[in-house]
């Protein structure tokens, strides 16, 4: 039996209550100490480090508002749109809950994209945090599935036709494609069965997986410790420590970073509430105007596009045409030739690489470009999982890499943003040049740029002379 901790009879009522709970639930108090009051984080965190806690806040907002929406929503093709209108018009404060949920979906992707970019800038995926990064990428993948399935539930025109287009993409998979698309839809067209499937996954299955991944992400992070803008390990074997063994370059997460995060949360909530009350549709980017029209299977919208946070990947999908396939084949053969002639390896490996490249080239010619568009779209996300093993830079943080790396990162962000913009627009938005769609050519070029950034990273990340990394974190009190 556990030994109870005694407390002075003269202690305050609050201290007595805390002591009573601590004696009866010590595990919770131990967890609080391990992950909050006695978890030492680097003392040089900057504003880039608020997006993790903001992502957790938005997740809570989505779960809570989702619970209240489910109380009134009808997962029935004949009633779904009407139930959303009922929530908006007749349920007390229903409009606020619905707008919080729809705005929260976009806010989630805003903070997650910024959170991931911070990891890219400061090398937070490098050893020993590879697993932390992998869990984070799995969260991102899970979040995309959750958003896609939730997007169908309002049963508006864009919801319906967006689901129709995306699910039909699975039919392009060789051999099993038609059966796979039928399994996802539950019918030969998007209908009531599809809505019930997506509702079940959106409300129950995917959130459970998402919560498990978030817990794993945080536990793995706290086991290895947080990274910082300098990329210096504050808990390493040579890191300076005080008499109690605490790192001198760290401070307890609570109260220092809880206050730091409350400030960030306050700024975020100001913007979040301003959008909800004054511009919940954000010009049709957060809530498309076509989604305020009931789904009509007999009337196709003039232009079908996903929500803004999917559009960079949708642009990559549209970029893969029959002409683009020849460029992809040339890239595969060129990469294989480079590996065979420039990299030292046994002859048998060179033969395997050459044979595999030829097989891939033949497959790419024999299978429809639509399928390879799906592969490229999925690969754009999957490649993020391999980032810890693609980066060969001797330093973690962008602060100490060669200055031209910053321009390369800037070009990557620019290409990703333009791909996102083009994914929203109808084809031909920039007109044509010599009979060719300019926007499509740009999307093809930037698709190569996106993959080139990662696939060539083992080469370019090792180039240039890195600046000396300090032995301790650089910190100025503020």
- The confidence score (pLDDT) of residue 349 equals 76
The pLDDT averaged over each successive group of 10 residues in the chain (478 residues) is 76 87 87 88 92 96 97 95 96 97 97 97 95 97 96 94 90 88 92 95 96 96 94 87 88 91 95 96 92 92 89 94 86 81 76 85 82 92 95 95 96 97 87 80 94 93 93 79
Per CATH, which fold does 42-298 belong to? Answer: Cytochrome Bc1 Complex; Chain C (1.20.810)
Beta bridge partners of residue 41, listed in sequence order = 251
Q: Would you state the structure tokens that stand for residue 186, as one six-digit string?
A: 């539950």
CA distance 185 to 196: 10
Residues of the chain with CATH 1.20.810.10: 42-298
Calculate the CA 185 to chain-centre distance.
25
């Amino acid at each position: 039996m556990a030994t109870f901790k005694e407390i002075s009879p003269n202690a305050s009522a609050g201290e007595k209550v805390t002591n009573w709970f601590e004696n009866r639930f010590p595990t919770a108090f131990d967890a609080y100490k391990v992950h909050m009051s006695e978890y030492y984080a680097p003392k040089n965190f900057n504003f880039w480090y608020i997006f993790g806690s903001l992502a957790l806040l938005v997740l809570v907002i989505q779960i809570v508002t989702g619970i209240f929406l489910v109380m009134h929503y009808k997962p029935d093709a004949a009633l779904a749109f009407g139930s959303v209108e009922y929530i908006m018009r007749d349920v007390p404060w229903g409009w606020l809950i619905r707008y919080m949920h729809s705005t929260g979906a976009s806010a989630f992707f805003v903070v997650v994209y910024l959170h991931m970019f911070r990891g890219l800038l400061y090398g937070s995926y490098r050893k020993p945090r590879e697993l932390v990064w992998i869990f984070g990428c799995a969260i991102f993948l899970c979040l995309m599935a959750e958003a896609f399935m939730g997007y169908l539930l309002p049963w508006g025109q864009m919801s319906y036709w967006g689901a129709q287009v995306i699910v039909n993409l699975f039919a392009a998979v060789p051999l099993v494609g038609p059966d796979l698309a039928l399994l996802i839809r539950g019918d030969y067209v998007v209908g009531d069965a599809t809505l019930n499937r997506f509702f079940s996954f959106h409300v129950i299955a995917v959130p459970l997986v998402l919560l498990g991944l978030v817990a794993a992400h945080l536990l793995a992070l706290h086991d290895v410790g947080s990274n910082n803008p300098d990329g210096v390990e504050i808990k390493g074997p040579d890191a300076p420590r005080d008499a109690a063994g605490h790192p001198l370059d760290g401070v307890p997460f609570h109260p220092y970073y809880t206050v730091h995060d409350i400030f960030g949360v306050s700024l975020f909530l100001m913007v979040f509430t301003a959008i909800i009350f004054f511009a919940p549709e954000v010009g049709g980017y957060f809530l498309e105007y076509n989604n305020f029209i009931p789904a009509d299977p007999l009337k196709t919208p003039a232009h079908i596009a996903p929500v803004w946070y999917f559009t960079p990947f949708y642009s990559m999908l549209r970029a893969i045409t029959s002409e683009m396939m020849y460029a992809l084949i040339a890239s595969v053969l060129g990469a294989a030739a480079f590996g065979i002639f420039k990299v030292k390896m046994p002859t048998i490996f060179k033969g395997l690489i050459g044979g595999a490249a030829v097989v891939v080239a033949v497959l790419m010619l024999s299978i429809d470009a639509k399928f390879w568009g799906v592969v490229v779209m999925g690969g754009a996300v999957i490649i993020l999982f391999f980032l810890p093993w693609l980066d060969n830079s001797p330093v973690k943080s962008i602060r100490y890499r060669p200055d031209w790396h910053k321009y390369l990162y800037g070009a990557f962000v620019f290409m990703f943003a333009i791909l996102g913009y083009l994914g929203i627009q109808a084809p031909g938005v920039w007109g044509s040049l010599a009979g060719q769609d300019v926007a499509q050519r740009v999307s093809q070029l930037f698709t190569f740029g996106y993959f080139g950034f990662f696939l060539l990273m083992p080469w370019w990340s090792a180039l240039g002379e890195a600046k000396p990394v300090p032995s301790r974190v650089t910190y100025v009190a503020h």
